[in-house]
Amino acid sequence: MKALILVGGLGTRLRPLTFSMPKPLVDFGNKPMILHQIEALKAAGVTEVVLAINHQQPEVMLNFVKEYEKKLEMKITFSQETEPLGTAGPLALARDKLIDESGKPFFVLNSDVICEYPLLEMIKFHKNHGAEATIMVTKVNDPSKYGVVVMEEEAATEEEEEEARVKSFVEKPKHFVGDKINAGIYLLNPSVLDRIQLRRTSIEKEIFPKIASEKKLYAMVLPGFWMDIGQPKDYLTGQRMYLDYLRKNAPGELLVSGDGIIGNVMADETAVIGDRCLIGPDVVIGAGCVIESGVRLFGCTVMRGARIKEHACVSDSIVGWDSTVGSWARVADITVLGKDVHVADAEVIQMSVKPEIVQKV
């Protein structure tokens, strides 16, 4: 099977992290973001992944692709648009890579999405309904922040309601029309490609509504968690959800015991944690990190190679690769430190770092 991942742009909302690393390679749960998706695709039987990009990729990305092609025994290629093609156009651009004689459906994923990826169930669902296109939807509390997927009302029973057809899409509705939003994961028959022209096209506004009107679009409600982690606040919320998922499904991945560890904490085995610390809940610590003694970490990410010095306190923030947080310093309130940023010791009378993007100059 094949898949297309819409990698898209420069990841401006995750600056300053994306100044040093292309967005797909920014770590999430100690693993490049895109690797979560590629591994999930492999587990569902995908052998070829196309990365839809809109600008030349840096060497670090090319090296990543080479490395994981070998490791995962998959084919990973790029499809680069030279002019904006919207959310559907890139599929037309990659047509030749996505279609083969097998006639099998292919996956399309948005790159910022994190969830459990029940892709095998999605394949079954797609087949059972004889759908031309299946989209994954997820229930949220604040649907007006996103695009809402309105389901057909003629579902007779509770069970059928979950497997209903899609009636329409409403972008950021002002009144409540439904609580299910587009989760950004699609399984499409090759015939969908015949509907997409090679120009700037929106899949939610142009393509899906057409398929829905022909009663061939189905939506599967995503079990488990879902988050768009393309901006820091949501990244940290997604991290909390992801760690909770791991605790229930793969608790070995978490650091469950030890003095000073509370709740869900993930730490690379090469990370060093000092004494009299209080770490967690909802903390991820990367490879080679040094957490000195007396440190408080809460709801934060400490990326590879970073050092948190004695008695400091980091909460609701992201500390980028190789950065340092000085002794008695405080980093809080969705602060993002980029790569190699050094927050001075509190001896310099450092106020709480305000929620700004702090970048190494």
Partner 1 sequence: MGSSTEEKVVAVILVGGPTKGTRFRPLSLNIPKPLFPIAGQPMVHHPISACKRIPNLAQVYLVGFYEEREFALYVSAISNELKVPVRYLKEDKPHGSAGGLYHFRNLIMEDNPSHIFLLNCDVCCSFPLPEMLESHRKHGGIGTLLVIKVSPESANQFGELVADPVTNELLHYTEKPETFVSDRINCGVYVFTPEIFTAIRDVSTQRNDTVTLRRVSSYEALQPATRIPADFVRLDQDILSPLAGKKQLYTYETMDFWEQIKSPGMSLRCSELYLSQFRLTSPQVLASGDGTKSAIVIGDVYIHPSAKVHPTAKIGPNVSISANARVGPGVRLISCIILDDVEIMENAVVTNAIVGWKSSIGRWSRVQAEGVYNAKLGVTILGESVAVEDEVVVTSSIVLPNKTLNVSVQDEIIL
User: 312 near 328, Cβ under 8 Å?
Assistant: yes
Beta bridge partners of 296: 278, 313
CB of 249 to partner 1, least distance (A): 30
The residue from 313, 318, 319, 358 that contacts partner 1 (CB under 8 A) is: 313
Give the whole-angstrom CA distance, residue 339 versus residue 333.
Answer: 19
The residue from 346, 355, 357, 360 that contacts partner 1 (CB under 8 A) is: 346
Decide whether 250 or 351 has the Cβ nearer to partner 1.
Answer: 351
Decide whether 146 or 298 has the Cβ nearer to partner 1.
Answer: 298
Interface with partner 1, residue 357, by CB under 8 A = no
Residues within window 320-339 making contact with partner 1, judged by CB under 8 A? 328, 330, 332
CB of 277 to partner 1, least distance (A): 9
Decide whether 93 or 297 has the Cβ nearer to partner 1.
Answer: 297
Give the whole-angstrom CA distance, residue 215 versus residue 281.
Answer: 45
CB of 332 to partner 1, least distance (A): 7
CA distances from 292 to 24, 184, 314 (A): 30, 40, 12
Decide whether 113 or 318 has the Cβ nearer to partner 1.
Answer: 318
Decide whether 132 or 316 has the Cβ nearer to partner 1.
Answer: 316
Closest CA to 336 of 291, 300, 286: 300
Decide whether 161 or 310 has the Cβ nearer to partner 1.
Answer: 310
Type of residue at 281: P
Decide whether 216 or 296 has the Cβ nearer to partner 1.
Answer: 296
- Of 8-16, 67-75, 150-158, 295-303, the window that binds partner 1 (rule: CB under 8 A) is 295-303
Give the whole-angstrom CA distance, residue 100 versus residue 104.
Answer: 8
The residue from 110, 315, 317, 335 that contacts partner 1 (CB under 8 A) is: 315
CB of 267 to partner 1, least distance (A): 19
The residue from 28, 208, 242, 298 that contacts partner 1 (CB under 8 A) is: 298
CB of 304 to partner 1, least distance (A): 24
Residues within window 251-290 making contact with partner 1, judged by CB under 8 A? 276, 278
Type of residue at 93: L
DSSP class of residue 344 equals P
Tokens, residue 209: 């509504």
CB of 294 to partner 1, least distance (A): 4
Phi and psi torsions of 66, nearest 5°: -60, -45
Which string of b and e fits 4-23 if b means at least 16 CB within 10 Å? bbbbbeebebbbbbbbbbbb
Interface with partner 1, residue 356, by CB under 8 A = no
Closest CA to 138 of 265, 45, 239, 238: 238
CB of 264 to partner 1, least distance (A): 18
CB of 276 to partner 1, least distance (A): 7
Please report where in the chains the tokens 């099977």 appear, as a residue.
Answer: 1
DSSP class of residue 348 equals G
Decide whether 156 or 351 has the Cβ nearer to partner 1.
Answer: 351
Which string of b and e fits 61-71 if b means at least 16 CB within 10 Å? beebbeebeee
Give the whole-angstrom CA distance, residue 307 versus residue 286.
Answer: 10
Q: Using alpha carbons only, what angle is made at residue 184 by residues 183 and 185, rounded to the nearest 5 degrees?
A: 100
Decide whether 27 or 316 has the Cβ nearer to partner 1.
Answer: 316
Tell me which residues touch partner 1 (CB under 8 A). Answer: 276, 278, 293-296, 298, 310-311, 313, 315, 328, 330, 332, 346-347, 349, 351-352
